Each structure stands twice: as structure tokens, then as C-alpha cells.
């Protein structure tokens, strides 16, 4: 498979490294300097690309997606912090019959953690005497807070347990790859469910699995819908 890697930072490099190890070809890479407002993502620069993998920044991702969709490239993005623009991008994908897969978290462990958290919340729903909260911790350079994963976690917890609001505390410090915890805390005991990422390899592996799957699957997908079925 021939990949374009848009955003050659921590995640872009991790995906590219793993892609080469799996025998794929990095056909093109795009950094901020050569791609202001997505201007580098032309049809000729993307010639022969089977799929694009986009990990940039909240202020850059939307223009990148527009340009990649215009060029007809199946595109995966893991960039977080742009959910307000998602409905417009979904309409664009549908009108252009393109293919987009987006996810705030490409770790399979996180996707299973989210399901376990939903189960936990449904069991605590209606039980008085517990406070519930989310703690998420990431490295100091992460721009958005709360994390996209924490926001998704809160939404599904609220759906399962309407009595709690699940306030989120965000920590940005050091080199933490990503930790998410949901706690039910009562006067006599506490229950905590955590996902702890050990590095970027898990995110890169999931993103590459999704990139390998995406060509031939038009429409809008999430990593969750790819793994477990259902709509994106
Ligand atoms: N979905 C997941 O599983 C997952 C996992 C980890 C991270 N993320 C998210 O992925 C995004 C990237 O994370 P990261 O850790 O890789 O960040 P990063 O190391 O800061 O990398 C982002 C890269 O994008 C570049 N960039 C900025 N604007 C661009 C543009 N218009 N075109 C091309 N490249 C551009 C930046 O260049 P400059 O440095 O020159 O600005 C930087 O190299 C963040 O939103 C993060 O929250 C998602």
C-alpha cells in the first residue's frame, strides 16, 4: 500500500515507521512548512497514493481533510480537538462519495476500555452515595484539553448513568503518552477503571490497521465502527 503521511510529528513518524516495517511504501510526507492551509495536498503531490494518514493539529486538520477529499484520497485522521467541524466534514464526505475514518484514539485497548467503562456506569446507575469523575493525563506538549478520548468517555458514561455528570480533570505534564481513569468514589470504597498507554506504538498500530482497511470502504467510519460494526 502507498501512504501519504500528513503531519510528520510524533504520531506521523510512528505510523510511517510501522508502515515500512509492514512492507508499505511512504509515497509522500507533508509537514507544516510545505502545507500551509492544506496547500501542499494537490492531486499531483498525491498521485499514486492509496490512503492518507493525517495526524496534525486542531487548527490544521479541517483544511487538510477538505483537500484530501477533493483529491479523492481515502483518508484517516487521528487529530483531536475539531469535533465542532465534524458534521460539515461528514456532509462533504457524503456529497463527494469519499472515504474518511476518524478516531480520537486508535488504541484497541482504549476501545475495549470504553466498552468496559460503559458497562461499569450502567451497573452504578441509580445507586446513591457515589461521586463519579474522570482523570486524564497527557504529556506537556498536547494542545487540546480535555482529550478527545476523555470527551468520548464522558459522553458514553452519561448515556449509561444519567445521575452523574462525570467532571473531567486534565493533567498536562512531562512525557505521559496518555492515561484515562474513571472513578466511582463512595464513603466506604472506590472503584477505578484505567487505561494506561505505554507509548505511541499502540496508537500507530491501530491507525495502520485502519489505514489498511479503509480503501474500498466509502463513507464515514470510526475506529470503533471498524472494530465492532455499527455506524461511524
Ligand atoms: N487518535 C489517536 O490515537 C491519537 C494518538 C496520539 C495523538 N493524537 C492526536 O494526533 C495529533 C498529533 O499528535 P502528535 O503527538 O503527533 O503531535 P505533534 O508531534 O505535535 O505532531 C503534529 C505535527 O503536525 C504538523 N503540522 C501542523 N500543521 C500542519 C499542516 N498544515 N500540514 C502538515 N503538518 C502539519 C506539526 O508541524 P509543526 O511542529 O511544524 O507545527 C507537527 O509536526 C494531536 O491532535 C493529538 O491529540 C491522536
pLDDT in tens, 42-80: 999 999 999 999 999 999 999 999 999 999 999 999 999
Count other Cβ atoms within 10 Å, centred on residue 65.
Answer: 29
Asked if 50 and 2 touch (Cβ cutoff 8 Å), the reply is: yes
Residue 219 in 3-state DSSP? strand
* The three grid cell numbers given for residue 152, joined into one nine-digit string: 468520548
Q: Could you give the CA distance from residue 116 to residue 65 in angstroms, rounded to a whole number?
A: 32
Atom of ligand 1 nearest to the CA of 30: 33
pLDDT of residue 232: 56
Alpha helices by DSSP H, the chain: 10-21, 58-70, 86-96, 108-124, 148-160, 201-213, 223-228
- Find out whether the beta carbon of 15 lies less than 6 Å from any atom of ligand 1: no
SS (H, E, C) 125-164: CCCCCCEEEEEEEECCCCCCCCCHHHHHHHHHHHHHCCCC
Atom of ligand 1 nearest to the CA of 139: 15
- Find out whether the beta carbon of 223 lies less than 6 Å from any atom of ligand 1: no
Mean of the per-residue pLDDT values for the chain? 96
pLDDT in tens, 77-118: 999 999 999 999 999 999 999 999 999 999 999 999 999 999
pLDDT in tens, 10-22: 999 999 999 999 9
- Find out whether the beta carbon of 181 lies less than 6 Å from any atom of ligand 1: no
Closest by alpha carbon to 142, among 194, 178, 195?
Answer: 178
Amino acid at each position: 500500500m502507498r501512504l501519504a503521511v500528513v503531519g510528520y510529528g510524533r504520531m506521523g513518524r510512528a505510523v510511517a515507521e510501522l508502515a515500512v516495517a509492514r512492507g508499505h511504501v511512504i509515497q509522500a510526507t507533508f509537514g507544516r512548512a510545505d502545507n500551509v492551509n492544506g496547500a501542499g495536498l494537490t492531486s499531483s503531490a498525491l498521485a499514486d497514493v492509496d490512503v492518507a494518514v493525517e495526524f496534525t493539529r486542531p487548527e490544521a486538520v479541517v483544511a487538510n481533510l477538505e483537500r484530501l477529499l477533493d483529491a479523492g484520497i481515502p483518508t484517516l485522521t487521528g487529530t483531536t480537538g475539531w469535533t465542532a467541524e465534524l458534521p460539515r466534514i461528514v456532509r462533504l464526505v457524503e456529497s463527494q462519495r469519499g472515504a474518511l475514518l476518524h478516531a480520537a484514539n486508535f488504541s484497541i485497548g482504549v476501545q475495549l476500555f470504553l466498552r468496559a467503562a460503559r458497562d461499569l456506569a450502567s451497573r452504578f446507575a441509580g445507586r446513591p452515595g457515589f461521586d463519579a469523575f474522570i482523570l486524564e493525563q497527557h504529556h506537556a506538549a498536547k494542545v487540546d484539553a480535555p482529550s478527545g478520548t476523555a470527551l468520548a468517555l464522558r459522553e458514553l458514561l452519561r448515556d449509561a448513568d444519567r445521575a452523574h455528570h462525570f467532571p473531567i480533570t486534565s493533567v498536562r505534564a512531562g512525557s505521559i503518552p496518555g492515561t484515562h481513569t474513571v472513578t466511582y468514589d463512595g464513603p466506604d470504597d472506590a472503584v477505578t477503571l484505567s487505561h494506561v498507554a505505554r507509548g505511541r506504538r499502540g496508537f500507530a498500530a491501530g491507525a495502520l490497521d485502519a489505514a489498511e482497511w479503509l480503501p474500498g470502504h466509502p463513507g464515514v467510519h470510526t475506529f470503533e465502527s471498524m472494530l465492532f460494526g455499527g455506524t461511524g
